Structure 1
Amino acid sequence: MDILKTSFTFQDEANASNQSPIKIAFLGTRHPHVMYRFAVLDKMGGFEFSGFYEENEKIAEELAKRLPRLPRFQSAGELLDTLPDVVMIHSLDPDVPRWARFAIDHPAPFKGLFLEKPGAAIPQDFYKLAEEIKGKRPGLAVELGYEMHYSEALEFARQVIREGALGDITTARFHGGCPSGAGMDLWQAIPEDLGGIMQTEGCHTLENVIDLFGAPDRVVSSIRKLPERPPHPVVGWIPDLFSGTVTTGEFGVGTLMYEDVCSGIMEYADKTIVLDMTAWEPTEWCNEWAIDVYGTNGSLHAIPDYPVATLYLREARGSFKAGETKLSTEKPHGTSNVPACYHKQFQSLFDRVRGAKKLEHGCCDLETNVKILKVIDAFYKSSASRQWVDV
């Protein structure tokens, strides 16, 4: 869905709290999700916007016009001198570590740091950054931009797995990717990146895998550009920061900068999980991101958005009855609920900034992202070597 073209409200507004507002600074604004996240924060209310800094002059000028409530600063230092509580970095992959390092080296005593995923162009760059953040800013609340972690379908899946409802889980299957055309998006075609959809979208799917089951012991994979095919109409793509989702144009399989498809096997001591990705899904974002889990007592089938989940159990386990249980969604079935994912993610981060130790939905922190990127690195190495790779 294009959140900028969608009407949405929240039932539990952040400004209903008696707590003092959190002050937010946007450092780097090249990734289109900066527009989405500003829109959600604006609806939530209860925040102060320090402003933004963007080193690209044309982008900075246009953003200042479009978001007049977000003051523009002429330097990153001046922005952080406003003493924000949270710094949000929406740069493209190669620049995320650079701006994160700038922030943690600045004397501003901020308590939260938000980084656009996957957090770096090359996994090793993020490993170093994570150590620097922990060393220089111990206790800093850090969140990576995996908003689909907060889908109600994933909440349901976490509860099913946590309660052991499925019995002994032997295998699971995860599918991810992007709509036809979206592989051309500006953040999917960065020359400095390790690769394409396995890195830029596979990180979302692997966050789901690691959230539910932890990291695998080893992987084997195939990451491929397919033979070039004639162009076909797109589902949607984002050519630049300000156009939003464009539904016109034609692209063909095999014409992307990076891979068209990826598949892999992840081995655990007690189960095997299969993952597959395509840059050419025929429907809207996330509608095909399927999760299928099989255990000795039942099976679980879930899609993050439009959120749906079906659980089948041979016998009652935990809080779930025998037979079929369908997820009761916040909105009517067939309705996207992506704004709620962004909303819950912000709540998780801001709760940690305010000192919360126990989080309702968990979080997507530094340690989680290191695990994700180690698996991504193993996928690319395995594909190149055509061998199993330990994680």
Structure 2
Amino acid sequence: MDVRQISFTFEDEGSLDESLPPIKVAFLGTRHPHVMYRFTVLEQMGGFEFSGFYEEDMGIATELAKRLPRLTRFDTPEALLDTNPDVVMIHALDPDVPRWARFAINHPAAFKGLFLEKPGTALPEDFYQLADEIEKKRPGLAVELGYELHYSESLAFARKVIHDGVLGDITTARFHGGCPSGAGMDLWQAIPEDLGGIMQTEGCHTLENVLDLFGAPDRVVSSIRKLPQRPPHPVVGWIPDLFTGTVHEGEFGVGTLLYEDVCSGIMEYSDKTIVLDMTAWEPTQWCNEWAIDIYGTNGSLHVIPDYPVATLYLREARGEFAAGPSKLSTEKPHGTSNIPSCYRKQLESLFARVRGTKVAGLGCCDLQTNVKILKVIDAFYKSATSRQWKDV
């Protein structure tokens, strides 16, 4: 979903509290396309000052300065952070996120918030070390990873259903994720230094949902594989570079990606089993096929993060939910993407922590959340290589 290609407004979602001072935001590293999305959302939100940006790639920096004239371009990262921002947002590609995060925490600027594009690293072990460094050098720093789908209204519905125990004893669940056909060619899905492809770059989103609802598994077993090469077919969409946006023309074939085409895995808990599957070749737009199916002794729950859908079926009434089917009443008309709202809610959550009006918890995608996600991802890849169960 390219936020820049859709029309949205936050005017009907409540006015800003003008008594609060504006949050000052600095963009350190701008090579991941989500930087364009979050800038667009921030402009719609209002109530913020932009310190500016620094990007080490001269070509990207020059073009970004033309396209986003409200962002002052700085010639050095030191000069950018010398503006004393409240929040530093890092949208580098995976191998460079830890490098820029370390640069930021070692700079004397007393910023209170740090935003890191997911999954936050090319190799999991580097993020474990980074998390430890951040917590030691910047205790109390509000850190958020770029899992905007955590803030989907259908995931909020799922959290309440699970938290309230309305499904009874949950025995199994299925989680599906992936990307549209062609999107596996996106620049951030095919980074040579990365551990892998779709399981790392998009599976982290799906695993965030798993861990958010159920915590980390005890052990996993998985298959991560490239499929036999097939003839090219028309793409759904892909993003070739930072500025072009989503392209709906071109042909790619299964088996031609740098990394895996598919992934499947079993996550074992003491009281349940959860299965996960990913494909880089979904036939529809972003997230439309992502699905969560949860089965308990008193009911079942079926969720799609976006376009948001949540359907609950209960044998017996529990809490505020009646017996029989119940459906989430969505913020937008049914069949409408609400991704911009996910971005907004995530930024509001981070900024509330920066202002001290909210503490980290279930409503945040913080450092230790990402450590847990990456440990499961690491176990998935190791299991696929060894063809054995791996403890998490």
The alignment's TM-score, normalised by the length of structure 1, stands at 0.99
- Between the aligned partners of 1:163 and 1:358, the Cα distance in structure 2 is 22
Aligned to 2:273: 272
- Between the aligned partners of 1:234 and 1:2, the Cα distance in structure 2 is 16
Aligned to 2:343: 342
Which runs of structure 2 are paired with 1:149-160 in the superposition (5 Å)?
Answer: 149-160=150-161
- Between the aligned partners of 1:107 and 1:356, the Cα distance in structure 2 is 24
Aligned to 2:6: 6
Q: Is the 8 A contact 1:14 1:46 kept in 2?
A: no
SS in 2 for 1:220: strand
Q: CA RMSD in A?
A: 1.0
Aligned to 1:250: 251
Shift of residue 358, structure 1, vs aligned partner: 4.9
Aligned to 2:364: 363
SS in 2 for 1:177: strand
Aligned to 1:85: 86
Q: Aligned in 2, Cα 1:290/1:71: closer, same or farther, shift over 3 Å?
A: same
Which runs of structure 2 are paired with 1:242-321 in the superposition (5 Å)?
Answer: 242-321=243-322
Aligned to 1:354: 355
The superposition leaves residues 264-298 of structure 1 with CA deviations (integer Å, 9 ceiling, x where unpaired) of 00000100000000000000000011000000000
- Which amino acid in 2 is paired with 1:74? D
Q: Is the 8 A contact 1:155 1:361 kept in 2?
A: no
Q: Aligned in 2, Cα 1:317/1:372: closer, same or farther, shift over 3 Å?
A: same
Q: Is the 8 A contact 1:148 1:341 kept in 2?
A: yes
Shift of residue 318, structure 1, vs aligned partner: 1.7
1:124 aligns to 2:125 (yes or no) = yes
SS in 2 for 1:191: coil
- Between the aligned partners of 2:281 and 2:247, the Cα distance in structure 1 is 16
Of the structure 1 ranges 361-370 and 83-92, higher mean CA displacement relative to structure 2 is found in 361-370
The superposition leaves residues 191-217 of structure 1 with CA deviations (integer Å, 9 ceiling, x where unpaired) of 000000000000000000000000000
Shift of residue 361, structure 1, vs aligned partner: 6.8
- Between the aligned partners of 1:359 and 1:328, the Cα distance in structure 2 is 27
The superposition leaves residues 308-344 of structure 1 with CA deviations (integer Å, 9 ceiling, x where unpaired) of 0100000111211111000000001000000000000
The superposition leaves residues 219-263 of structure 1 with CA deviations (integer Å, 9 ceiling, x where unpaired) of 000000000000000000000000000000000000000000000
- Between the aligned partners of 1:84 and 1:180, the Cα distance in structure 2 is 39
Percent identical pairs in the alignment equals 81
Which runs of structure 2 are paired with 1:207-246 in the superposition (5 Å)?
Answer: 207-246=208-247
- Between the aligned partners of 2:15 and 2:383, the Cα distance in structure 1 is 45
- Between the aligned partners of 2:285 and 2:145, the Cα distance in structure 1 is 23
Shift of residue 16, structure 1, vs aligned partner: 3.4
The alignment's TM-score, normalised by the length of structure 2, stands at 0.99
Shift of residue 15, structure 1, vs aligned partner: 3.2
Shift of residue 12, structure 1, vs aligned partner: 3.2
SS in 1 for 2:134: helix
1:94 aligns to 2:131 (yes or no) = no
Q: Is the 8 A contact 1:310 1:326 kept in 2?
A: yes
- Structure 2 residue runs of 5 or longer lacking an equivalent are none
- Between the aligned partners of 1:125 and 1:15, the Cα distance in structure 2 is 38
- Between the aligned partners of 1:100 and 1:14, the Cα distance in structure 2 is 33
